[in-house]
A = this chain, B = another copy of it.
């Protein structure tokens, strides 16, 4: 099912990420914006939180990758998000959509549907949001969810085939779909759900990896694999969600390609 993923591909991409320090533009929510920038810096990318209309579009043309996250969709940011997504599409910059808490909340749901029509390179979300984006469910309680990724596989395939996006569905085992291939990443730790932005920051890391020299299915898999492997290492020394968050940044910085390859469990 994942013929395009050679065994050394994820660790090779990590090496490439650190050699290039890709510039990642994030238009994200105010809750997680600091942690997201720190995740990118720790892993080896360069964050740029450019989300003002008039700057967001031009910057998306020169960025290596773009994240749009609709978690706190204030009016000015909504305008900047559409501007950036359009410019990224025009310029061929890979961009990631994270449709946080869509479903019943009207402002972000309308925005996410508009963004979907612009054919995001990657859609990253939890199962309930993937179902809501595909019009197959009513949405969840925000970033929190109890559904398993496989419960949203049909919705994910629908989005992948309909919009040409790679779809990444978060859960204890992450599921990655491009319509023709599927792979599961069996890494991570429950503490990721006890830190705000655990998933949102991953969206930014996906945008960083999506700029590298490989097909998007492989780069998304590498990004999720690396993030969840670092989370496992971090959890092993943490005493709770506070020390886990600190250790996650340390481990995103210190985990090397060999450790990553050894710990990664693709299914």
Given contacts A31-B37, A195-B38, are A107 and B242 in contact (CB under 8 A)? no
Closest 10 CB pairs of A and B: A240-B250, A242-B249, A37-B196, A242-B246, A240-B253, A48-B142, A242-B250, A55-B105, A239-B250, A42-B241
Q: Which residues of B contact A243 (CB under 8 A)?
A: 246-247, 249-250
- A110 closest partner in B (C-beta): B54
Given contacts A141-B23, A196-B37, A254-B240, are A105 and B42 in contact (CB under 8 A)? no
B34 touches A197 (CB 8 A): yes
Would you call A74 an interface residue if the criterion is a C-beta within 8 Å of the partner chain's C-beta atoms?
Answer: yes
How many monomers of this protein are in the complex? 3
- A146 closest partner in B (C-beta): B21
Q: A38-B241, A52-B107, A243-B250 given; name 14 further pairs at CB < 8 Å.
A: A38-B196, A38-B245, A42-B240, A49-B71, A51-B72, A52-B108, A54-B107, A58-B106, A74-B76, A240-B251, A240-B252, A242-B245, A243-B247, A243-B249
Q: Which residues of B contact A144 (CB under 8 A)?
A: 21, 46
A12-40 near B? 1/0 per residue, CB < 8 Å: 00000000010100000111111101100
State how many residues of chain A have any CB contact under 8 Å with chain B: 60
Would you call A59 an interface residue if the criterion is a C-beta within 8 Å of the partner chain's C-beta atoms?
Answer: yes
Would you call A248 an interface residue if the criterion is a C-beta within 8 Å of the partner chain's C-beta atoms?
Answer: yes
- A194 closest partner in B (C-beta): B41
B74 touches A52 (CB 8 A): yes
- Within the complex, the shortest CB–CB distance from A6 to chain B, in Å, comes to 29
A216-267, CB < 8 A from B: 238-243, 245-254
Would you call A172 an interface residue if the criterion is a C-beta within 8 Å of the partner chain's C-beta atoms?
Answer: no
- Within the complex, the shortest CB–CB distance from A20 to chain B, in Å, comes to 12
- Kindly identify which residue among B34, B195, B242 contacts A247, using a CB–CB cutoff of 8 Å: B242
